[in-house]
Chains A and B, each alone.
Chain A
Protein backbone atom coordinates (compact mmCIF):
# COMPACT_ATOMS: atom_id res chain seq x y z
CA UNK A 1 0.00 0.00 0.00
CA UNK A 2 2.85 2.31 0.96
CA UNK A 3 4.57 1.41 -2.26
CA UNK A 4 1.45 2.24 -4.24
CA UNK A 5 1.29 5.67 -2.61
CA UNK A 6 4.93 6.53 -3.30
CA UNK A 7 4.64 5.41 -6.92
CA UNK A 8 1.49 7.54 -7.21
CA UNK A 9 3.28 10.57 -5.81
CA UNK A 10 6.13 10.09 -8.22
CA UNK A 11 3.98 9.65 -11.31
CA UNK A 12 0.64 11.38 -10.76
CA UNK A 13 1.32 13.78 -13.59
CA UNK A 14 1.75 10.89 -16.01
CA UNK A 15 -1.46 9.29 -14.71
CA UNK A 16 -3.33 12.52 -15.24
CA UNK A 17 -1.99 12.88 -18.74
CA UNK A 18 -2.84 9.27 -19.62
CA UNK A 19 -6.32 9.68 -18.15
CA UNK A 20 -6.86 12.70 -20.37
CA UNK A 21 -5.72 10.73 -23.40
CA UNK A 22 -8.03 7.91 -22.40
CA UNK A 23 -11.03 10.21 -22.05
CA UNK A 24 -10.19 11.83 -25.38
CA UNK A 25 -10.03 8.49 -27.21
CA UNK A 26 -13.29 7.28 -25.70
CA UNK A 27 -15.22 10.52 -26.00
CA UNK A 28 -14.36 11.11 -29.64
CA UNK A 29 -15.23 7.51 -30.54
CA UNK A 30 -18.59 7.54 -28.72
CA UNK A 31 -19.57 10.90 -30.17
CA UNK A 32 -18.62 9.79 -33.68
CA UNK A 33 -20.54 6.54 -33.25
CA UNK A 34 -23.62 8.50 -32.09
CA UNK A 35 -23.36 10.85 -35.05
CA UNK A 36 -23.28 7.91 -37.45
CA UNK A 37 -25.51 5.33 -35.78
CA UNK A 38 -28.44 7.47 -34.56
CA UNK A 39 -29.26 9.03 -37.96
CA UNK A 40 -28.66 5.65 -39.62
CA UNK A 41 -30.99 3.95 -37.16
CA UNK A 42 -33.66 6.57 -37.84
CA UNK A 43 -33.24 6.08 -41.56
CA UNK A 44 -33.45 2.31 -41.27
CA UNK A 45 -36.59 2.46 -39.15
CA UNK A 46 -38.29 4.00 -42.17
CA UNK A 47 -36.69 1.51 -44.59
CA UNK A 48 -37.24 -1.80 -42.91
CA UNK A 49 -36.29 -3.96 -45.85
CA UNK A 50 -32.81 -2.49 -45.83
CA UNK A 51 -32.60 -2.64 -42.05
CA UNK A 52 -31.96 -6.33 -41.57
CA UNK A 53 -29.02 -6.53 -43.94
CA UNK A 54 -27.40 -3.35 -42.61
CA UNK A 55 -27.82 -4.38 -38.97
CA UNK A 56 -26.45 -7.85 -39.72
CA UNK A 57 -23.41 -6.34 -41.45
CA UNK A 58 -22.73 -3.98 -38.58
CA UNK A 59 -23.16 -6.77 -36.06
CA UNK A 60 -20.41 -8.75 -37.80
CA UNK A 61 -17.96 -6.05 -36.67
CA UNK A 62 -19.08 -6.71 -33.14
CA UNK A 63 -18.00 -10.34 -33.38
CA UNK A 64 -14.37 -9.51 -34.23
CA UNK A 65 -12.24 -9.77 -31.06
CA UNK A 66 -11.14 -6.29 -30.03
CA UNK A 67 -7.44 -7.01 -30.13
CA UNK A 68 -7.79 -8.44 -33.63
CA UNK A 69 -9.71 -5.36 -34.76
CA UNK A 70 -6.87 -3.15 -33.53
CA UNK A 71 -4.50 -5.48 -35.39
CA UNK A 72 -6.43 -4.94 -38.63
CA UNK A 73 -5.99 -1.21 -38.19
CA UNK A 74 -2.20 -1.38 -38.47
CA UNK A 75 -1.97 -2.28 -42.18
CA UNK A 76 -5.00 -0.09 -42.97
CA UNK A 77 -4.35 3.11 -41.04
CA UNK A 78 -1.05 2.61 -39.21
CA UNK A 79 -0.63 3.24 -35.51
CA UNK A 80 -1.53 6.05 -33.11
CA UNK A 81 -4.78 7.59 -31.81
CA UNK A 82 -6.49 7.88 -35.22
CA UNK A 83 -6.71 4.18 -36.08
CA UNK A 84 -7.64 3.50 -32.46
CA UNK A 85 -10.52 5.94 -32.64
CA UNK A 86 -11.57 4.40 -35.94
CA UNK A 87 -11.67 0.91 -34.43
CA UNK A 88 -13.43 2.04 -31.25
CA UNK A 89 -16.04 3.86 -33.32
CA UNK A 90 -16.70 0.77 -35.43
CA UNK A 91 -17.14 -1.23 -32.28
CA UNK A 92 -19.54 1.32 -30.81
CA UNK A 93 -21.85 1.48 -33.83
CA UNK A 94 -23.87 -1.65 -33.26
CA UNK A 95 -25.49 -1.07 -29.86
CA UNK A 96 -26.46 2.50 -30.71
CA UNK A 97 -27.74 1.57 -34.16
CA UNK A 98 -29.77 -1.30 -32.84
CA UNK A 99 -31.26 0.60 -29.94
CA UNK A 100 -32.19 3.53 -32.17
CA UNK A 101 -33.85 1.21 -34.65
CA UNK A 102 -35.68 -0.79 -32.00
CA UNK A 103 -36.59 2.30 -29.99
CA UNK A 104 -38.18 4.05 -32.94
CA UNK A 105 -39.89 0.94 -34.24
CA UNK A 106 -41.16 0.24 -30.74
CA UNK A 107 -43.26 3.40 -30.71
CA UNK A 108 -46.92 2.39 -30.62
CA UNK A 109 -48.32 2.52 -34.20
CA UNK A 110 -51.47 4.19 -32.85
CA UNK A 111 -49.34 7.20 -31.86
CA UNK A 112 -47.89 7.39 -35.36
CA UNK A 113 -51.37 7.27 -36.84
CA UNK A 114 -52.61 9.89 -34.41
CA UNK A 115 -49.66 12.16 -35.21
CA UNK A 116 -50.13 11.78 -38.94
CA UNK A 117 -53.88 12.22 -38.72
CA UNK A 118 -53.46 15.41 -36.69
CA UNK A 119 -51.33 16.86 -39.46
CA UNK A 120 -47.70 16.29 -38.48
CA UNK A 121 -45.10 16.24 -41.23
CA UNK A 122 -42.59 13.37 -41.24
CA UNK A 123 -40.03 15.52 -39.44
CA UNK A 124 -42.51 16.68 -36.85
CA UNK A 125 -43.55 13.10 -36.25
CA UNK A 126 -39.90 12.21 -35.69
CA UNK A 127 -39.06 15.13 -33.40
CA UNK A 128 -42.32 15.43 -31.50
CA UNK A 129 -43.33 11.78 -31.15
CA UNK A 130 -40.79 9.14 -32.17
CA UNK A 131 -37.50 10.49 -30.80
CA UNK A 132 -38.79 11.61 -27.39
CA UNK A 133 -40.39 8.22 -26.84
CA UNK A 134 -37.41 6.27 -28.18
CA UNK A 135 -34.92 8.38 -26.23
CA UNK A 136 -34.88 6.08 -23.22
CA UNK A 137 -33.88 3.12 -25.38
CA UNK A 138 -31.36 5.08 -27.45
CA UNK A 139 -29.71 6.45 -24.32
CA UNK A 140 -29.43 2.95 -22.90
CA UNK A 141 -27.44 2.02 -26.00
CA UNK A 142 -25.20 5.06 -25.63
CA UNK A 143 -24.51 4.20 -21.98
CA UNK A 144 -23.60 0.64 -22.88
CA UNK A 145 -21.29 1.91 -25.58
CA UNK A 146 -19.63 4.49 -23.32
CA UNK A 147 -18.73 1.83 -20.78
CA UNK A 148 -17.59 -0.63 -23.44
CA UNK A 149 -15.45 1.98 -25.22
CA UNK A 150 -13.64 3.10 -22.07
CA UNK A 151 -12.81 -0.52 -21.30
CA UNK A 152 -11.68 -1.23 -24.82
CA UNK A 153 -9.59 1.91 -25.12
CA UNK A 154 -7.27 0.28 -22.58
CA UNK A 155 -6.12 -2.18 -25.24
CA UNK A 156 -5.53 0.64 -27.72
CA UNK A 157 -2.09 0.94 -26.15
CA UNK A 158 -1.00 -1.94 -28.40
CA UNK A 159 -1.26 0.30 -31.44
CA UNK A 160 0.41 3.21 -29.63
CA UNK A 161 -2.77 5.19 -29.10
CA UNK A 162 -1.90 6.20 -25.53
CA UNK A 163 -4.36 6.14 -22.67
CA UNK A 164 -4.25 4.38 -19.31
CA UNK A 165 -3.45 1.08 -21.05
CA UNK A 166 0.09 2.42 -21.46
CA UNK A 167 0.59 2.40 -17.69
CA UNK A 168 -0.89 -1.07 -17.27
CA UNK A 169 1.22 -2.71 -20.00
CA UNK A 170 4.23 -0.82 -18.74
CA UNK A 171 3.65 -2.23 -15.26
CA UNK A 172 3.13 -5.71 -16.66
CA UNK A 173 6.37 -5.73 -18.60
CA UNK A 174 8.21 -4.63 -15.47
CA UNK A 175 6.25 -7.09 -13.29
CA UNK A 176 5.53 -4.07 -11.11
CA UNK A 177 2.17 -4.41 -9.36
CA UNK A 178 1.90 -0.82 -8.05
CA UNK A 179 2.33 0.54 -11.59
CA UNK A 180 -0.27 -1.90 -12.95
CA UNK A 181 -2.67 -0.73 -10.22
CA UNK A 182 -2.05 2.92 -11.04
CA UNK A 183 -3.36 2.24 -14.53
CA UNK A 184 -6.07 -0.22 -13.61
CA UNK A 185 -7.64 1.74 -10.76
CA UNK A 186 -8.20 5.01 -12.69
CA UNK A 187 -9.65 3.15 -15.68
CA UNK A 188 -12.07 1.24 -13.47
CA UNK A 189 -13.06 4.39 -11.61
CA UNK A 190 -13.60 6.14 -14.92
CA UNK A 191 -15.98 3.43 -16.15
CA UNK A 192 -17.96 3.38 -12.91
CA UNK A 193 -18.17 7.15 -12.80
CA UNK A 194 -19.33 7.53 -16.40
CA UNK A 195 -21.89 4.78 -15.94
CA UNK A 196 -23.40 6.49 -12.89
CA UNK A 197 -23.31 9.85 -14.61
CA UNK A 198 -25.13 8.60 -17.70
CA UNK A 199 -27.67 6.69 -15.62
CA UNK A 200 -28.42 9.88 -13.75
CA UNK A 201 -28.61 11.90 -16.95
CA UNK A 202 -30.95 9.31 -18.41
CA UNK A 203 -33.28 9.49 -15.45
CA UNK A 204 -33.23 13.25 -15.62
CA UNK A 205 -33.93 13.38 -19.35
CA UNK A 206 -36.76 10.83 -19.33
CA UNK A 207 -40.05 12.66 -19.87
CA UNK A 208 -42.28 12.40 -16.80
CA UNK A 209 -45.12 10.71 -18.62
CA UNK A 210 -42.76 7.91 -19.66
CA UNK A 211 -41.21 7.26 -16.27
CA UNK A 212 -44.28 5.15 -15.61
CA UNK A 213 -42.87 1.63 -15.30
CA UNK A 214 -45.29 0.00 -17.71
CA UNK A 215 -44.20 1.99 -20.74
CA UNK A 216 -40.48 1.55 -20.12
CA UNK A 217 -40.78 -2.15 -19.51
CA UNK A 218 -42.77 -2.72 -22.67
CA UNK A 219 -40.11 -0.91 -24.73
CA UNK A 220 -37.34 -2.88 -23.04
CA UNK A 221 -38.95 -6.25 -23.63
CA UNK A 222 -39.48 -5.25 -27.22
CA UNK A 223 -35.79 -4.41 -27.51
CA UNK A 224 -34.82 -7.74 -25.98
CA UNK A 225 -37.07 -9.68 -28.33
CA UNK A 226 -35.60 -7.85 -31.25
CA UNK A 227 -32.05 -8.58 -30.09
CA UNK A 228 -32.90 -12.23 -29.54
CA UNK A 229 -34.32 -12.43 -33.04
CA UNK A 230 -31.10 -11.26 -34.63
Chain B
Protein backbone atom coordinates (compact mmCIF):
# COMPACT_ATOMS: atom_id res chain seq x y z
CA UNK B 1 0.00 0.00 0.00
CA UNK B 2 3.01 2.30 0.09
CA UNK B 3 3.78 4.99 2.60
CA UNK B 4 1.28 6.52 4.99
CA UNK B 5 0.20 10.09 4.42
CA UNK B 6 -1.94 10.30 7.53
CA UNK B 7 -2.13 7.93 10.42
CA UNK B 8 -4.69 7.86 13.24
CA UNK B 9 -3.34 6.24 16.39
CA UNK B 10 -5.70 5.33 19.21
CA UNK B 11 -7.82 8.41 18.58
CA UNK B 12 -10.82 9.08 20.80
CA UNK B 13 -13.35 11.83 20.25
CA UNK B 14 -16.33 12.55 22.43
CA UNK B 15 -19.07 15.09 21.75
CA UNK B 16 -20.63 14.67 25.16
CA UNK B 17 -23.14 12.10 23.94
CA UNK B 18 -20.86 9.11 23.95
CA UNK B 19 -17.71 8.46 21.97
CA UNK B 20 -17.89 9.10 18.26
CA UNK B 21 -14.48 7.56 17.85
CA UNK B 22 -12.83 5.29 20.36
CA UNK B 23 -9.26 4.04 20.12
CA UNK B 24 -9.54 4.58 16.42
CA UNK B 25 -6.73 3.48 14.12
CA UNK B 26 -6.45 4.18 10.43
CA UNK B 27 -3.68 4.52 7.88
CA UNK B 28 -4.35 6.68 4.86
CA UNK B 29 -1.95 5.81 2.04
CA UNK B 30 -0.02 8.44 0.08
CA UNK B 31 -1.03 9.82 -3.30
CA UNK B 32 -4.32 7.97 -3.47
CA UNK B 33 -7.90 9.06 -3.56
CA UNK B 34 -9.29 7.70 -0.33
CA UNK B 35 -13.05 7.89 0.10
CA UNK B 36 -14.60 7.62 3.51
CA UNK B 37 -18.16 6.34 3.62
CA UNK B 38 -20.56 5.17 6.26
CA UNK B 39 -23.99 5.92 7.68
CA UNK B 40 -24.54 9.41 9.06
CA UNK B 41 -23.12 9.88 12.51
CA UNK B 42 -20.41 7.30 11.92
CA UNK B 43 -17.68 9.89 12.47
CA UNK B 44 -16.53 10.44 8.90
CA UNK B 45 -16.58 14.23 8.95
CA UNK B 46 -15.07 14.23 12.44
CA UNK B 47 -12.27 12.12 11.07
CA UNK B 48 -11.65 14.52 8.20
CA UNK B 49 -11.67 17.64 10.34
CA UNK B 50 -9.20 16.11 12.75
CA UNK B 51 -6.62 16.06 10.00
CA UNK B 52 -6.57 19.87 9.79
CA UNK B 53 -7.34 20.33 13.47
CA UNK B 54 -10.74 21.92 13.03
CA UNK B 55 -11.65 19.24 15.53
CA UNK B 56 -9.23 18.15 18.24
CA UNK B 57 -9.19 14.58 19.56
CA UNK B 58 -9.58 13.91 23.28
CA UNK B 59 -6.96 11.23 23.21
CA UNK B 60 -4.56 9.62 20.79
CA UNK B 61 -2.65 11.26 17.99
CA UNK B 62 -2.89 12.00 14.30
CA UNK B 63 0.35 11.73 12.38
CA UNK B 64 1.10 13.58 9.20
CA UNK B 65 4.08 11.81 7.68
CA UNK B 66 6.04 11.22 10.89
CA UNK B 67 4.85 14.39 12.62
CA UNK B 68 2.20 14.48 15.34
CA UNK B 69 -0.08 17.29 14.18
CA UNK B 70 -0.94 18.12 17.80
CA UNK B 71 2.54 19.62 18.01
CA UNK B 72 2.14 21.78 14.92
CA UNK B 73 0.72 25.29 14.77
CA UNK B 74 -2.88 24.79 13.56
CA UNK B 75 -2.81 27.83 11.25
CA UNK B 76 0.44 26.71 9.58
CA UNK B 77 -0.89 23.16 9.37
CA UNK B 78 -4.11 24.24 7.63
CA UNK B 79 -2.20 26.32 5.11
CA UNK B 80 -0.28 23.20 4.15
CA UNK B 81 -3.44 21.12 3.63
CA UNK B 82 -6.00 21.71 0.90
CA UNK B 83 -9.61 21.98 2.03
CA UNK B 84 -12.79 21.79 -0.04
CA UNK B 85 -16.20 21.99 1.64
CA UNK B 86 -19.69 21.04 0.59
CA UNK B 87 -21.15 24.54 0.47
CA UNK B 88 -18.18 25.51 -1.74
CA UNK B 89 -17.33 28.48 0.49
CA UNK B 90 -15.92 30.83 -2.14
CA UNK B 91 -15.62 34.35 -0.78
CA UNK B 92 -18.35 36.33 -2.59
CA UNK B 93 -16.53 39.68 -2.42
CA UNK B 94 -13.38 38.35 -4.06
CA UNK B 95 -12.69 37.60 -7.68
CA UNK B 96 -11.87 34.10 -8.89
CA UNK B 97 -8.20 35.06 -8.89
CA UNK B 98 -8.31 36.40 -5.32
CA UNK B 99 -10.17 33.31 -4.17
CA UNK B 100 -7.72 30.90 -5.75
CA UNK B 101 -4.65 32.71 -4.50
CA UNK B 102 -5.88 33.21 -0.94
CA UNK B 103 -3.67 30.60 0.72
CA UNK B 104 -0.44 31.66 -1.03
CA UNK B 105 -1.36 35.24 -0.11
CA UNK B 106 -1.85 34.27 3.53
CA UNK B 107 1.60 32.74 3.33
CA UNK B 108 2.93 36.04 2.00
CA UNK B 109 3.93 34.97 -1.47
CA UNK B 110 4.83 37.52 -4.13
CA UNK B 111 2.22 38.96 -6.44
CA UNK B 112 3.89 38.06 -9.76
CA UNK B 113 4.05 34.47 -8.63
CA UNK B 114 0.33 34.47 -7.74
CA UNK B 115 -0.81 35.65 -11.17
CA UNK B 116 1.08 32.88 -12.91
CA UNK B 117 -0.08 30.30 -10.39
CA UNK B 118 -3.73 31.29 -10.82
CA UNK B 119 -3.49 30.98 -14.59
CA UNK B 120 -1.87 27.57 -14.25
CA UNK B 121 -4.57 26.32 -11.88
CA UNK B 122 -7.43 27.67 -13.96
CA UNK B 123 -6.01 25.84 -16.95
CA UNK B 124 -5.69 22.70 -14.89
CA UNK B 125 -9.39 22.76 -13.99
CA UNK B 126 -10.38 23.58 -17.55
CA UNK B 127 -11.38 27.23 -17.26
CA UNK B 128 -9.88 29.85 -19.57
CA UNK B 129 -7.73 32.09 -17.30
CA UNK B 130 -8.27 35.38 -19.13
CA UNK B 131 -12.01 34.83 -19.23
CA UNK B 132 -12.50 33.77 -15.63
CA UNK B 133 -9.86 35.30 -13.37
CA UNK B 134 -11.72 38.59 -12.93
CA UNK B 135 -15.16 37.12 -12.37
CA UNK B 136 -17.01 36.96 -9.09
CA UNK B 137 -18.39 33.69 -7.68
CA UNK B 138 -22.03 34.63 -8.27
CA UNK B 139 -21.30 34.91 -11.99
CA UNK B 140 -20.36 31.22 -12.15
CA UNK B 141 -22.42 28.04 -12.21
CA UNK B 142 -22.32 25.66 -9.25
CA UNK B 143 -20.01 23.27 -11.05
CA UNK B 144 -17.65 26.08 -12.01
CA UNK B 145 -17.69 27.39 -8.46
CA UNK B 146 -16.66 24.05 -7.05
CA UNK B 147 -13.91 23.73 -9.69
CA UNK B 148 -12.59 27.02 -8.32
CA UNK B 149 -12.95 25.54 -4.82
CA UNK B 150 -10.72 22.64 -5.90
CA UNK B 151 -8.23 25.02 -7.54
CA UNK B 152 -8.12 27.06 -4.33
CA UNK B 153 -7.27 23.91 -2.37
CA UNK B 154 -4.44 23.14 -4.79
CA UNK B 155 -2.99 26.65 -4.85
CA UNK B 156 -0.35 26.30 -2.17
CA UNK B 157 0.67 22.93 -3.57
CA UNK B 158 -0.32 20.83 -0.53
CA UNK B 159 0.44 17.14 -0.50
CA UNK B 160 -2.92 16.38 1.13
CA UNK B 161 -6.36 17.64 0.17
CA UNK B 162 -9.41 17.15 2.35
CA UNK B 163 -12.79 17.12 0.66
CA UNK B 164 -15.96 17.15 2.72
CA UNK B 165 -18.84 16.02 0.48
CA UNK B 166 -17.60 18.48 -2.14
CA UNK B 167 -19.94 17.52 -4.97
CA UNK B 168 -23.12 16.75 -3.07
CA UNK B 169 -24.68 20.18 -3.62
CA UNK B 170 -24.21 19.99 -7.39
CA UNK B 171 -26.66 18.83 -10.01
CA UNK B 172 -26.13 15.21 -11.18
CA UNK B 173 -24.55 16.18 -14.50
CA UNK B 174 -21.91 18.50 -13.03
CA UNK B 175 -21.35 16.00 -10.25
CA UNK B 176 -20.44 13.20 -12.63
CA UNK B 177 -18.30 15.60 -14.64
CA UNK B 178 -16.39 16.78 -11.58
CA UNK B 179 -15.86 13.20 -10.41
CA UNK B 180 -14.27 12.34 -13.75
CA UNK B 181 -12.18 15.48 -13.67
CA UNK B 182 -11.00 14.72 -10.15
CA UNK B 183 -9.75 11.28 -11.17
CA UNK B 184 -7.95 12.76 -14.17
CA UNK B 185 -6.63 15.64 -12.13
CA UNK B 186 -5.08 13.35 -9.57
CA UNK B 187 -3.34 11.35 -12.26
CA UNK B 188 -1.53 14.62 -12.99
CA UNK B 189 -1.01 16.16 -9.57
CA UNK B 190 -0.61 13.01 -7.44
CA UNK B 191 -2.04 14.24 -4.14
CA UNK B 192 -3.39 12.35 -1.20
CA UNK B 193 -7.09 13.12 -1.36
CA UNK B 194 -9.26 12.28 1.60
CA UNK B 195 -12.82 12.43 0.34
CA UNK B 196 -15.84 12.13 2.60
CA UNK B 197 -19.10 11.32 0.86
CA UNK B 198 -22.46 9.71 1.49
CA UNK B 199 -22.88 8.86 -2.17
CA UNK B 200 -21.86 5.21 -2.56
CA UNK B 201 -21.65 5.38 -6.35
CA UNK B 202 -19.33 8.32 -6.05
CA UNK B 203 -17.19 6.63 -3.41
CA UNK B 204 -16.73 3.46 -5.45
CA UNK B 205 -16.17 5.32 -8.68
CA UNK B 206 -13.43 7.74 -7.73
CA UNK B 207 -11.63 5.79 -5.00
CA UNK B 208 -8.31 4.04 -5.05
CA UNK B 209 -9.10 3.06 -1.50
CA UNK B 210 -12.48 2.99 0.25
CA UNK B 211 -12.80 3.18 4.01
CA UNK B 212 -16.17 2.02 5.29
CA UNK B 213 -17.02 3.20 8.79
CA UNK B 214 -19.78 2.27 11.17
CA UNK B 215 -20.19 3.75 14.63
CA UNK B 216 -16.60 4.95 14.76
CA UNK B 217 -15.12 1.64 13.63
CA UNK B 218 -13.46 0.75 10.35
CA UNK B 219 -15.53 -2.10 8.95
CA UNK B 220 -13.40 -2.55 5.87
CA UNK B 221 -10.62 -0.73 4.06
CA UNK B 222 -9.58 -1.65 0.56
CA UNK B 223 -9.96 -0.98 -3.11
CA UNK B 224 -13.53 -0.82 -4.42
CA UNK B 225 -12.91 -4.16 -6.07
CA UNK B 226 -11.82 -5.75 -2.83
CA UNK B 227 -14.91 -4.49 -1.04
CA UNK B 228 -17.15 -5.89 -3.72
CA UNK B 229 -15.35 -9.20 -4.15
CA UNK B 230 -14.44 -9.93 -0.57
CA UNK B 231 -16.75 -8.05 1.77
CA UNK B 232 -15.34 -8.39 5.26
CA UNK B 233 -18.65 -8.19 7.00
CA UNK B 234 -22.36 -8.50 6.31
CA UNK B 235 -22.61 -4.75 6.87
CA UNK B 236 -20.49 -4.12 3.77
CA UNK B 237 -23.12 -5.80 1.60
CA UNK B 238 -25.89 -4.11 3.46
CA UNK B 239 -24.42 -0.64 3.15
CA UNK B 240 -23.17 -0.85 -0.43
CA UNK B 241 -26.41 -2.53 -1.50
CA UNK B 242 -26.94 -6.22 -2.25
CA UNK B 243 -27.53 -5.47 -5.92
CA UNK B 244 -23.88 -4.55 -6.41
CA UNK B 245 -22.72 -8.03 -5.45
CA UNK B 246 -22.76 -10.89 -7.96
CA UNK B 247 -25.48 -13.43 -7.19
CA UNK B 248 -22.97 -16.15 -6.38
CA UNK B 249 -21.68 -14.17 -3.41
CA UNK B 250 -24.98 -13.10 -2.05
CA UNK B 251 -26.28 -16.50 -0.97
Contacts and interface: CB of A to CB of B under 8 A. Distances in A.
A118 interface: yes
Contact of B79 (A108, A110, A118): A118
A120 B77 CA distance: 11
A132 B136 CA distance: 15
A1 B90 CA distance: 60
B91 A111 contact: yes
A129 interface: yes
Contacts of B54: 113, 116-117
Contact of B91 (A113, A121, A129, A208): A129
B138 A215 contact: yes
A114 interface: yes
A121 B89 contact: no
A210 B93 contact: yes
B177 to A, nearest CB: 22
A39 interface: no
Interface string A105-133: 00010110111111111001000110011
A212 interface: yes
Interface stretch (B80-88, B207-215, B225-233): B80-88
Contacts of B37: none
Contacts of A214: 138
A120 B83 contact: no
B93 A117 contact: no
A92 to B, nearest CB: 27
A119 B76 CA distance: 7
Contacts of B106: 118-120, 124
Interface string A162-184: 00000000000000000000000
B78 A117 contact: yes
A114 B76 contact: no
Contact of A110 (B77, B88, B94): B88
A132 to B, nearest CB: 5
A42 to B, nearest CB: 17
B103 A118 contact: yes
A115 B77 CA distance: 13
Nearest to B106: A119
Nearest to A109: B87
A65 interface: no
Contact of A133 (B76, B78, B79, B93): B93
Given A132-B93, A133-B92, A212-B138, A121 B85 contact: no
B108 to A, nearest CB: 12
Interface string A204-219: 0001111010110000
22 contacts: A110-B86, A110-B87, A111-B92, A114-B89, A115-B91, A116-B54, A117-B85, A118-B79, A118-B102, A118-B103, A118-B152, A119-B75, A119-B76, A119-B79, A119-B103, A128-B91, A128-B102, A207-B93, A209-B91, A209-B136, A212-B138, A215-B138
Given A118-B79, A118-B103, A133-B91, 8 more contacts: A111-B91, A113-B85, A113-B89, A117-B83, A119-B75, A128-B91, A208-B136, A209-B92
- 7 closest A-B pairs by beta carbon, nearest first, are A114-B89, A119-B79, A209-B136, A110-B87, A119-B78, A207-B93, A117-B83
